[in-house]
Amino acid sequence: MRDKNGTITPVKILGIESSCDETAAAVVEDGFRLLSNVVATQIDIHAQYGGVVPEIAARSHIEAINPVIEKALRDAQCSWEDIDAIAVTYAPGLVGSLLVGTLAARTLAILHDKPLYPIHHVEAHVYANFITAQTETLEPQLQLPSKQPDFPMLALIVSGGHTQLVLFREHGDYELLGQTQDDAVGEAFDKVAKILGLPYPGGVSIDLTAPEGDPNRYALPKSKLASPYDFSFSGLKTAVLRAAQREVGKDFTFPSHELSGLLTAKQRKDFAASFQRVAVETLVDKAEAAFRAYQPSAVVIAGGVAASQRLRDELSARLPITIEYAPMKLCTDNAAMIATLGYYYAQKRAAADPYSLEVVPSISMAQTAWATGR
């Protein structure tokens, strides 16, 4: 940012995220330099119920939000004077959860007279890949990419709520190429883990269990869809359930929640490995088809399932391009990605009115490109 004397000073953005079950705040400088990254997770609380309970999530955000924001400022060694703008997740997510972060951001923007930028959570996941190691960061052990991805950029976004392929021509100028027609891939990981009796969150459990199993033990189907870039994971999940019911000698009416007790440890590992192989292959097949059709300069993966080592290995093996992956820690929900996207958004868009910014629980990236210029 250039002041009235022409001096260039770095731009520091405070990001705030509370769309699901993590309360997070972070400070990012100039759209790439990570100054702080605080995440208060509720995983332990929701694990007792086997999934996120919206009312409990909202209540936990209320307890955590102020200390998390204060810690993010402290860790970044920033006072409010140092912060140039606030970026907050306004969509999509659980309504009660989104409200907590958005109301905190609105209040702070008014109180400290800062511009406020509304950020789309799913789009922001992609921006974990824009946090780089161009200078030293607060956590030297974080393996950050050496440089930012080039445009045009193909993004495979794989989270608990979304599975989509998006082609970015520039910041804010993107096209949704395809998406899941039913379950998101992370949701399929979570549901299959539940069938197998593995702990929540299922993606992590399957990632840990699968390497001990035989990925070819069970023949599971890949869905066939009219569009080459669309996905479907509900059939795969059901195929695991049916195969598991058969394996323990029960018919299809046998309840899924009673299955895990009858499976042996070996069967559990083989199911985890076979499911993971087909899920990852499906993602990579589609990403490869989009890569061949659009010839992007960079490919990134984003969202919680991007933390899967098997997905990373298989994508790198199949695509004729070097991919620098974001650290696992920045793939799952965090506010650093919100602050990073906020930096680019602020260059092209006016700030929101802090007195009236509303949350939007459901809005697709097919509707949210903000700098198309066409």
Residues that bind ligand KG4 (CB under 6 A): 20, 159-161, 186, 189-190, 201-204, 207, 303-305, 307-308, 332-333
Q: Which does 207 bind (CB under 5 to 8 A by kind): Zn ion, ligand KG4, none?
A: ligand KG4
Instruction: Tell me the window of 4-12, 38-46, 82-90, 329-337 that interacts with Zn ion (CB under 5 A).
Output: 329-337
Pairing of strands 85-91, 12-17: parallel
Taking the least distance from each CB to Zn ion, the nearer of 159 and 164 is 159
Taking the least distance from each CB to Zn ion, the nearer of 278 and 307 is 307
Taking the least distance from each CB to Zn ion, the nearer of 93 and 215 is 93
16 close to 101: Cβ distance less than 8 angstroms: yes
Q: Which does 308 bind (CB under 5 to 8 A by kind): Zn ion, ligand KG4, none?
A: ligand KG4
Taking the least distance from each CB to ligand KG4, the nearer of 178 and 202 is 202
Pairing of strands 298-302, 116-120: unpaired
CB of 120 to Zn ion, least distance (A): 11
Taking the least distance from each CB to Zn ion, the nearer of 290 and 337 is 337
Could you say which of 42, 137, 148, 159 contacts Zn ion (CB under 5 A)? 159
Q: Which does 190 bind (CB under 5 to 8 A by kind): Zn ion, ligand KG4, none?
A: ligand KG4
91 close to 357: Cβ distance less than 8 angstroms: no
Report the C-alpha gap between 216 and 273 in whole angstroms: 8
Instruction: Tell me the window of 34-42, 74-82, 159-167, 216-224 that interacts with Zn ion (CB under 5 A).
Output: 159-167
Could you say which of 17, 183, 207, 333 contacts Zn ion (CB under 5 A)? 333
Nearest CA to 343 out of 175, 140, 172, 113 is that of: 172
Number of C-beta neighbours around residue 2 at 10 A: 8
> Can you tell me which residue has the tokens 């100028």?
173
The H or E element spanning position 99 is helix 95-112
CB of 255 to Zn ion, least distance (A): 30
Report the C-alpha gap between 83 and 186 in whole angstroms: 34
Going across the sheet that includes 22-29, the strands are: 33-41, 22-29, 12-17, 85-91, 116-120
Q: Which does 203 bind (CB under 5 to 8 A by kind): ligand KG4, Zn ion, none?
A: ligand KG4
Instruction: Tell me the window of 87-95, 168-176, 292-300, 325-333 that interacts with Zn ion (CB under 5 A).
Output: 325-333
Nearest CA to 136 out of 36, 38, 33 is that of: 33
Report the C-alpha gap between 298 and 154 in whole angstroms: 6
Taking the least distance from each CB to ligand KG4, the nearer of 204 and 284 is 204
User: Which residue ranges make up the site for Zn ion (CB under 5 A)?
Assistant: 159, 333
